Amino acid sequence: MTTEGPPIRRLADWDAATLRDLADGHGTPLYVLDQRRVRENVANLRAAFHEESISYAVKANTVRATLETIAETGIGAECASAGELQRAVDAGFDRLRYTAVNPPAGDLDHVVDLAADPPRDLDLVITVGAADAFEALAERGYDGPLAIRVNPGVGAGHHAKVTTGDAPKFGVPYDRVSELASEIVSRGFDLVGLHAHAGSGIHEASDLAAHRELVSRMGELARELDHDLDFLNVGGGLGIPYRPTDEPLDLDSVAAATREAVGELDARLGIEPGRYVVADAGVLLTTVNTVKPTPETTVVGVDAGMTTLLRPAMYDAYHEIRTLAPDADERESVTATVAGPICETADVLGRGRELPGPERGDVLTIGNAGAYGYEMASNYNSRPRPAVVSLDGGESRLAVERETLSELTRLEIEQ
Ligand code: LLP
């Protein structure tokens, strides 16, 4: 069992010499994932949410090396697609939750086949977010355990684009859940749980309050159901401090508030954090290509952009940026806009950043890039996706190779 660690690993805590060596050895842009920190995050979650069952939301980072580390800790995996489920099985997870969001037929075929013919003993539960999805599973002959994803009517999150609890797309409307539950049970299926997810990046007091409201509604609903449940899963969404001035969540008090909000319940409480497990275990290294003074700001052009780390362009997300230049202390600070190589105005990783006199060839490090970083990388502008290195103690290993230019056209068929 890994020991707990500090509540957050700040960008300044990363060893600059190690990161410089990795950038030298593997080139940039390069994601670095520290497996020790991943283990500490899992241990921290376990210490706070001790009797609850914890699943890792695989979507935050599906790099095999990371999945294997998390699987070894013994927590479960929450998967949103057949691909995520397969990766989780391959990495060694035994407790799997497939949360089907508008599932394509091919996904359901794959999941039902996996349930019918698992490679080893698996504890797999399929969570349906619509009556239709239940019917589609029944038609395929699925007869395993089911849970219902509820739309609790209350959401939270760091951005409207990731606030799910009140978005009609997700889950069965709160007041239709009993009806679907009765239908599922009367047709002989094993209804084992209820599920809801408020959204992602719950950190502000108002989001924490909304989350408590969701938990309390879910507790009420579970008590109202005329059916015993094994678990009530109240989703993921635990936020982390992206800005150096942000404070980390107090996990103990979040856990206590969650338990209090759920009320008396004869079912296990479940949570499924993604970001919290991997965000501060990862950094992105990038090299400065151009430094351009302009009347407004100094534009620092780097080799990572929105195709490497989409979060700033997509959600105006803040990621701390520091230089790894060894002589940084001797340089005069400038206010910079750190921009990528993509032909879109949105391709900016940070604005108004104080950087010690950036120079061509400097390596910069971008913090909290372990969650939804590599995972959301794309090939837009025909940019190959970056490489990923896995760090464990003093050892580093290449975990994902850098894509090459010729691989960009790998799937194309000559006409
Ligand atoms: N459970 C469900 C059903 C989810 O939809 C999600 C995230 C999670 C758990 C895990 O949430 P977390 O603990 O990681 O906040 N790309 C966005 C985040 C999208 C999250 C989608 N669902 C970002 O970079 O902020």
- The CATH code of the domain that includes 379 is 2.40.37.10
Q: Compute how many other C-beta atoms are within 10 angstroms of the C-beta atom of residue 3.
A: 9
- Indicate whether 20 belongs to any domain: no
Q: Which of 275, 300, 322 is the last residue of a domain?
A: 275
Residues 94 and 151 in one domain: yes
Residue 19 lies in a domain: no
226, 255, 275 — which closes off a domain?
275
Strands (E), 236-393: 268-271, 282-293, 298-302, 321-323, 333-339, 348-356, 363-366, 387-392
Q: Of all protein residues, whose CA lies closest to atom 9 belonging to ligand 1? A: 236
Same domain, 269 and 287: no
What average pLDDT does the structure give for the chain?
A: 97
Q: Which residue has a Cα nearest atom 23 of ligand 1?
A: 372
Tens digit of pLDDT for each residue in 295-346? 999 999 999 999 999 999 999 999 999 999 999 999 999 999 999 999 999 9
CA angle centred on 238, ends 145 and 278, rounded to 5°: 90
Q: Round to whole Å and give the CA distance between 129 and 66.
A: 28
Q: 23: number of CA atoms within 13 Å, CB side? A: 25
Residues 255 and 294 in one domain: no
Tell me which residue of 88, 107, 2 sits closest to 45, measured CA to CA.
2
Helix (H) or strand (E) holding 355: strand 348-356
- One-letter amino acid for residue 305 of the chain: G
Nearest-angstrom CA–CA distance, 352 and 336: 5
Same domain, 291 and 332: yes
User: What average pLDDT score do residues 269-277 get?
Assistant: 98
Are 181 and 292 found together in one domain? Answer: no
The pLDDT assigned to 124 comes to: 98
- 43 touches 2 (CB < 8 A): yes
For residue 61, the domain's CATH number is 3.20.20.10
pLDDT, tens digit (0-9, with 9 covering 90-100), for 372-412: 999 999 999 999 999 999 999 989 999 999 999 999 999 99
Q: How confident is the model at residue 226 (pLDDT cuts 50, 70, 90)?
A: confident
In angstroms, the CA 307 to CA 380 distance is 6
Is the pLDDT at 169 greater than 70? The verdict is: yes
Residue with tokens 């914890």: 54
- Which pLDDT value is given to residue 51? 82
In a domain, 70, yes or no: yes
pLDDT at 394: 85
- What is the token pair recorded at 23? 């950038």
How many domains, the chain? 2
Residues 160 and 298 in one domain: no
Q: Are residues 309 and 231 in the same domain?
A: no
- pLDDT one-digit tens code per residue, 22-34: 999 999 999 999 9
Q: What is the pLDDT of residues 176-216, one digit of tens each?
A: 999 999 999 999 999 999 999 999 999 999 999 999 999 99
297 and 255 within one domain: no
Choice among 1, 343, 411, 413 that is catalytic? 343
Q: Are residues 380 and 311 in the same domain?
A: yes
Q: How confident is the model at residue 2 (pLDDT cuts 50, 70, 90)?
A: confident
Residues 266 and 294 in one domain: no
Q: What is the pLDDT of residue 83?
A: 98
What pLDDT sits at residue 100? 86
Q: What is the mean pLDDT of residues 160-177?
A: 97
Q: Based on the domain organization, do 135 and 84 belong to the same domain?
A: yes
- For the stretch 42-95, pLDDT in tens is 999 999 999 889 999 999 999 999 999 999 999 999 999 999 999 999 999 999
Query: Distance, CA 237 to ligand 1 centroid (Å)?
Result: 6
Domain boundary among 228, 252, 275: 275
- For ligand 1, whether the C-beta of 275 sits within 6 Å is yes
Based on the fold, state whether residues 269 and 329 are members of the same structural domain: no
Residue 202 alpha carbon, nearest atom of ligand 1: 15
- 152 CB under 6 A from ligand 1? no
| Residue 87 falls inside a structural domain | yes
Residues 6+ apart with CB under 8 A from 220: 263
Atom of ligand 1 nearest to the CA of 238: 13
Q: Residue 360 Cα, ligand 1 centroid: separation in angstroms?
A: 36
What are the phi and psi torsion angles at 307 (to 5°)? -80, -15
Nearest ligand 1 atom to the CA of 162 is: 19
Q: How is residue 379 written in tokens?
A: 């090939």
What is the structure's pLDDT at 1? 60
Mean pLDDT of 120-145: 98
The DSSP call for residue 199 is: B
Q: Does the C-beta of 238 come closer than 6 Å to ligand 1?
A: yes
Question: Which range of residues forms the domain containing residue 340?
Answer: 280-409
Catalytic annotation present for 79: no
Query: What phi and psi values does residue 77 have, to the nearest 5 degrees?
Result: -130, 130
CA distance 365 to 310: 16
Strand partners, 32: 283, 389
